[in-house]
Structure 1
Amino acid sequence: MKKLIVAAVMCLGTAAFAQDATGTPQNPSKEAPSARQIDGPSTGIEAQEVGPAIGDTAKKVVGKDTSKEAAGKTGVWTGKHAFDLEGTVKAKEGDDITLARKDTLPEVKLDVRDQTKVTLDGKAVKASELPEGATVRAKFQLEGDDPIALELKATSPKAKK
């Protein structure tokens, strides 16, 4: 008799859980959580909207223009908070230069501007004159999401024997 009661309770319990408000994947009920809710809580703001919103808010709060044009006239070129990196020239596209880095570090694409100081073996050159494979020590600063090259010191690639 005990076995019969346990079996009945198990069947009824399973049936009760089967009546959950989630429905089926093909036919979800209105009360079912969405995929967004299942994946985690949401603030209602997409990540790619945050950067521009911060820039706009900074402009309102500080009262200064934070655009790319204004950055050329302000502290970006002071180099006060510049970052350093080393790599080899992999590609050049318009105003951009791509540096390959050692080991498993990702490539870096730097925006080269008219104000960028570029040297090759100690001589001033244009960024377009840097040969592929040249070793570069770069100083850059972030302008929003864009890394802006302040200084590129390159040495010619060694000739293969």
Structure 2
Amino acid sequence: MKKLIIAAVMSLGTAAFAQEATGTPENPAPSAPSSRQMNGPSTGIEAQEVGPAIGDAAKKAVGAQTSKEEAAQTGVWKEKHAFTMEGTVKTKDDDDITLARKDTLPEVKLDVRDKTKVTLDDKPAKVSDLPEGAKVRAKFQLEGDDSVALELKATSPKPKK
């Protein structure tokens, strides 16, 4: 009996909704929103085109470069936007240096480029000249997933007594 009552209610409910005057696309109901309300005012520009256009305009306005090669050629690395850190030389070669940091901080590997300024005891040097254990104050910037050294100021390690 319950099933019969539920079936009757469902049928009547469906029939009631079906009789509601919603109109058709060709002849919409008076209560239906207008196409202007549905679509909003038209600017003639698709939303998908706006984001890239804003990004390009912003790059032109601030002078941002679009490729790493252009950035390297024009010296986009500005020291005023650099991060700083201190550590001691753990390993090094001509292309990168790994610095050990205090306490439980992880080691940091910095890419060394041709434009990286390297000094040892306030004298110009190469990364290969830096002895292991030398204290280093580094200025660096992030370039994608890489940390690029802008400046490495090293101090020779003190001899152990």
Q: TM-score, normalised by structure 2?
A: 0.58
Q: How does 1:10-159 map to 2 (within 5 A)?
A: 61=56, 62=59, 65-74=65-74, 76-159=76-159
CA RMSD of aligned residues (A): 2.1
- Residue 84 of structure 1 contacts residue 138 of structure 1 at CA under 8 Å; is this kept in 2? yes
- Residue 137 of structure 1 contacts residue 154 of structure 1 at CA under 8 Å; is this kept in 2? yes
Deviation at 1:65, TM superposition (A): 4.6
Identity percentage of aligned residues = 74
- Residue 71 of structure 1 contacts residue 143 of structure 1 at CA under 8 Å; is this kept in 2? no
Q: Distance in 1 between matches of 2:66 and 2:108?
A: 23
Q: What secondary structure, in the 3-state scheme, does the structure 2 residue paired with 1:147 have?
A: strand
- Post-superposition Cα deviations, 1:2-55, rounded to whole Å, max 9, x if no partner, equal xxxxxxxxxxxxxxxxxxxxxxxxxxxxxxxxxxxxxxxxxxxxxxxxxxxxxx
Q: What secondary structure, in the 3-state scheme, does the structure 1 residue paired with 2:69 have?
A: helix
Q: Distance in 1 between matches of 2:109 and 2:123?
A: 23
How many residues are treated as equivalent by the alignment? 104
Q: Distance in 2 between matches of 1:160 and 1:76?
A: 42
Q: TM-score, normalised by structure 1?
A: 0.58
Which amino acid counterpart does residue 113 of structure 1 have in structure 2?
R
Q: What secondary structure, in the 3-state scheme, does the structure 1 residue paired with 2:84 have?
A: strand
- Post-superposition Cα deviations, 1:44-102, rounded to whole Å, max 9, x if no partner, equal xxxxxxxxxxxxx79x7337653332221345432121000000000013300000000
- Post-superposition Cα deviations, 1:139-159, rounded to whole Å, max 9, x if no partner, equal 001111111101100000111
Q: Distance in 1 between matches of 2:156 and 2:84?
A: 19
Structure 2 unaligned spans of 5+: 1-51
Structure 1 unaligned spans of 5+: 1-56
Q: Distance in 1 between matches of 2:92 and 2:113?
A: 13
